[in-house]
Amino acid sequence: MAKQMHNTPNLDELEKGPWPSFVTGLKRLAKDNDMAVDLMGQLEKSYETRFGYWKGGTVGVVGYGGGVIPRFTELKDENGKPLFPEAAEFHTLRIQPPAGMHYTSDLLRNLCDAWLETGGSGLIAFHGQSGDIMFQGIKTEDVQRSFDKFNEMGFDLGGAGPALRTSMSCVGAARCEMSCYDEARALRTVINNNLDDMHRPSLPYKFKFKFSGCPNDCVNAIQRSDMATIGTWRDSIRADEKLAREWMASHSVEDLTNMVVSMCPTRAIRLVKNDGAPAGEGITKVAVSDANCLEIDNHNCVRCMHCLNVMPGALLPGKDKGVTILVGGKGVLKIGATMGTVVIPFMKLESDEDFEKLNDLARNILDFFAENALEHERTGEMIERIGLVNFLEGLDIDVDPNMIVHPRTNPYVRTDGWDEEAEKWFERKAAA
């Protein structure tokens, strides 16, 4: 052990400055860890040449087809011998964290111990962009026993490749007054009922679920997931007059106007006289001072969260909570980045049956994706190719004007089914 350190003049530059340095951490490991020594050697080489030197491969654990990211060095001498042999295999285990990324100090230590005991490098990232704990740096021969150790502790591999991926939920109900549903339960319901698609990759491409408790969307569900579950409510914003007056006491009418009223995207908020008159139907009215009330037209509120963010506690989500489901968010490849778009404007998510419904919807969308997407096509691209209406019909979801920003602006459509479709609309209205 304790191989001689390589010279790392480039990496040494990254020990300067006030932000915590991963290089200093690697050096700490390298004192008694040859894998870290050689990892630094390879990384320094990349800094010199500005090329990466890892290639993929096939490494896994018994029964699973994914969850390990294999990395083999490409830096070899003329005889094919690795230049940095101790880091020639440097695989990552993607391990799913507790939903909401909660840890006790003991759990953190136990994860470190398990990683070191089973041959891990001692390097861990909290967390990867999909939300995995990334245990970085292990040889092929140690992968199985390392996974077994984590698995004995109650942890499981996450997703990789054309598979269901590890999910994320915000802190939500655990510590946020904006939370509109039990995010952790929703995550665990949807993910843990579909693990077959995570552990044995056989989808056309990756599929991600993400869960945000409110439209502030702190886990970026709308853009970073194929199916985003975002909390919302359909009754009126709740108000707390005491907190509203407290807020006002430390702000001015100008603040209220500039920071709250005029920043409402649908002009649903007005500043009115505090005349003691009762609020009308669908109106939230709260006194901020003896002179003025805020009046919010809830039927025209789009639940953007801005006024709730500015006046925390004074304004709160309503009580009739649920979720909006959006489908099709993804990154750049191949058609350009896409946001998820609405497929379920509102559904309740409280009872066991509600969670069962969410699980069924998730399963149906996964199935439709599996059957209809082309190879290496994300859900958003599939919908772009076939059109939202075909997607909705495949899933037996009724069209809804909340799904669009505006109706079509071109006439390139056959409308010979118009009367039947209009009838369906009236039937649905009558049944509602």
Partner 1 sequence: MAERTHETIESGAPDPMPYMHPVMKNNYGKWVFHSHPKPGVLYHRAENGDEIWTVKAGTQRQMDHYTIRKLADIADQYADGYVRFTTRSNIEYMVTDQAKVEPLIKALSDNGFPVGGTANSVSMVAHTQGWLHCDIPGTDASGVVKALMDELYDEFVKCEMPNRVKLSTSCCEINCGGQADIAIIVQHTKPPKINHDLVANVCERPSVVARCPVAAIRPALVNGKPSLEVDEKKCICCGACFPPCPPMQINDPEHSKIAIWVGGKNSNARSRPTFHKLVAAGLPNNAPRWPEVGAVVKKILATYKADGRPWERMNDWIDRIGWPAFFEKTGLPFTKYHIDNWRGGRNSLNASAHIRF
Sign of CA dihedral 246, 250, 254, 259: negative
Q: Which residues are within 8 A (CB) of 246 and not within 5 positions of it... i.e. 6 or more apart?
A: 314
352-372 vs 388-395: helix axis angle to the nearest 10? 120
Residue type, 159: G
Binding positions for partner 1, 59-88, rule CB under 8 A: 61-64, 69, 71
126 binds partner 1 (CB under 8 A): yes
Number of other residues whose CB lies within 10 A of the CB of residue 206: 20
> CB 303 → partner 1: shortest distance, Å?
7
Place of tokens 């940095």: 84
Q: Looking at 175-183, 267-275, 358-366, 391-399, which segment touches partner 1 (CB under 8 A)?
A: 175-183
Which one among 75, 168, 237, 244 touches partner 1, defined by CB under 8 A?
168
**Stretch of 117-125, 284-292, 391-399, 414-422 contacting partner 1, by CB under 8 A:** 117-125
Q: CB of residue 394 vs partner 1: minimum separation in angstroms?
A: 23
Residue 376 lies near partner 1 (rule: CB under 8 A): yes
| Interface with partner 1, residue 123, by CB under 8 A | yes
Determine if 98 is a binding residue for partner 1 (CB under 8 A): yes
Q: Which is nearer to partner 1, 98 or 318 (CB)?
A: 98
Interacting stretch for partner 1, rule CB under 8 A, among 151-159, 267-275, 355-363, 418-426? 151-159
Give yes or no for residue 303 binding partner 1 (CB under 8 A).
yes
Q: At what angle do helices 352-372 and 183-192 cross, to 10 degrees?
A: 50
**Under the criterion CB under 8 A, does residue 391 sit at the interface with partner 1?**
no
Query: Does residue 417 belong to the site contacting partner 1 (CB under 8 A)?
Result: no
Window contacting partner 1 (CB under 8 A); options: 76-84, 147-155, 278-286, 393-401:
147-155
What is the closest distance, in whole angstroms, from the C-beta atom of residue 396 to partner 1 in the complex?
27
* Residues 308 and 316 sit within 8 Å (Cβ to Cβ): yes
SS3 at position 406: coil
Binding flag, residue 274, partner 1 (CB under 8 A): no
Q: Which DSSP string corresponds to 277-320?
A: PPP-TTEEEEESSSSEEEEEEGGG-----HHHHHSBTTEE--SS
Given a contact cutoff of 8 angstroms between Cβ atoms, the answer to whether 84 and 39 are in contact is: yes
Q: Does 320 bind partner 1 (CB under 8 A)?
A: no
Shortest Å, Cβ 140 to partner 1: 10
Site for partner 1 in 15-54 (CB under 8 A): 16-23, 25-26, 28-29, 36, 39, 43, 46-47, 49-54
- Pick 20 or 276: Cβ nearer partner 1: 20
Q: Is 316 in the site for partner 1 (CB under 8 A)?
A: yes
Determine, following the binding rule CB under 8 A, whether residue 97 of this chain makes contact with partner 1: yes
Shortest distance, position 195 Cβ to partner 1, whole Å: 5
403 binds partner 1, rule: CB under 8 A: no
Stretch that binds partner 1, among 273-281, 289-297, 306-314, 364-372 (CB under 8 A): 306-314
Provide the greatest CA pair distance for the chain: 88
- The length of the chain is 432
User: Residue 307 belongs to what H/E stretch?
Assistant: helix 306-310
Instruction: Report d(CA 121, CA 260) in Å as an integer.
Output: 51
Please choose, from the candidates 174, 173, 161, the residue with its C-alpha nearest in 3D space to the C-alpha of residue 130: 161
Burial of 392 (0-12, 13-18, 19+ CB in 10 A): middle
Instruction: Output the smallest distance, CB 184 to partner 1, in A.
Output: 5
Q: Binding marks (x or -) toward partner 1, 337..356, rule CB under 8 A?
A: x-x-----------------
- The contacts of residue 162 (CB under 8 Å, 6+ apart) are 201, 202, 203, 204, 205, 206, 376
Give residues with Cβ within 8 angstroms of 262, minimum separation 6.
Answer: none
- Which of 5, 7, 109, 299 lies at the binding interface for partner 1 (CB under 8 A)? 109
Query: Where is 190: in which H helix or E strand?
Result: helix 183-192
Interface residues for partner 1 in 206-235 (CB under 8 A)?
A: 215-224, 230
Residue 96 has which token pair? 């799913």
Least gap, CB of 391 to partner 1 (angstroms): 19
Q: Which among 163-171, 293-301, 362-370, 414-422 is the span making contact with partner 1, rule CB under 8 A?
A: 163-171
> Which of 168, 198, 166 shows the shortest CA–CA distance to 183?
168
Q: At what angle do helices 388-395 and 379-386 cross, to 10 degrees?
A: 110
**Binding to partner 1 by residue 299, rule CB under 8 A?**
no
